Amino acid sequence: MTQEKESGMALPMVLWTITLLAGIVILLVGVLDGWISEESRSGKLFKARQQALSGLAIAMSPTLKPGDPILKHSNSDHSEGYSVVMKDEGGLINPNAWLGGTPDHRDLLQRLFTSWGLDMNQCSAAADGLYDWQSPIPFRSLHGAKQADYEAAGQQGLPPGTAFLSPEEMSLVLGFEPVMHAKPDWSAYFTTYSGTNGINILYAPKGILKDLLGLSDPQADAWITLRNGKDGIEGTDDDFNGKPPPDIPSTMRLMGLRNVPSNIASVFTIASWGSIRHIESTGFFNGVKHRITVVTSGGSLLGWSEQ
């Protein structure tokens, strides 16, 4: 009886052991597969970044113009290569120019944030917070934040009371978090590298045309098509067929706008293709992409970011 009982107990133990070992094997296979996949992606990402760097090295030449065929390259099966796009940094909003002037343009920041879905209180807190960050005056704006507010939030030594060094620095401002939640790509609207003469309306991106000027999608698309000329590339000789509008009022009429408020019209300007370039070099390798964005002036590097 004892031997039969032991035999009866052995079989379930054997089956349980086999099941356990099978589970361990499956787990290990999954882990190894994950490691291999991650290593494979890391290798592809490395090569995609190398391609992006290659495109960037070419585009950094100050004599190179937008639309040059050398700004795009791929191998025979198009699985590896790079693509570079050049833009004029002057088409973006410089927060230092908007906030450091007299009068400042917190009202336009609120207009922009409203178009992104923020309520009145959130817009006021974000705009006043941005103003207080760069203002050397120790007094707090109505909805802003100064040193005591930052210390209460556990952030020592802020705000600096000086101009923003980069758009990314705006993310540190108390009251700005709702903006980042409402508009994940908010930083694409701003620059700290362009001049202080306003937004170059000849090269402002579609988002600014819609969210600040209030253009509809068809109006913005029609304007971009008109200004880019026949080749569809901004910054080339055929922009506006070589005849850009002479002034802002004429430009507004071409865009289909009437009676634009003076505070909005005053922040736009008309200028030729600027010396401050916004270069986006995207490298790709077997389905994996890597983008490097830089801002340059005369071949000198002003800003760098990767994604």
Q: Give per-residue pLDDT as tens, 215-272.
A: 999 999 999 999 999 999 988 888 887 788 889 999 999 999 988 899 999 999 998 8
Q: Is the pLDDT of residue 6 over 60?
A: no
Q: Give per-residue pLDDT as tens, 67-90.
A: 899 999 999 888 899 999 999 999
Q: Is the pLDDT of residue 31 over 70?
A: no
Q: Element (H or E) spanning 43, and its range?
A: helix 2-59
Q: What's the rounded Cα separation, in Å, for the pair 93 and 154?
A: 30
Predicted confidence at residue 219, as pLDDT, reads 94
Domain residue spans of the chain: 95-190
Asked whether the beta carbons of 123 and 170 are under 8 A apart, the reply is no
Q: Element (H or E) spanning 131, and its range?
A: helix 120-134
Angle, helices 106-115 vs 120-134, to 10°: value is: 140
CATH for the stretch 95-190:
1.10.40.60
Q: What's the rounded Cα separation, in Å, for the pair 42 and 34?
A: 12
Q: What's the rounded Cα separation, in Å, for the pair 189 and 185?
A: 8
As given in the structure block, the two tokens for residue 143 are 């909805």
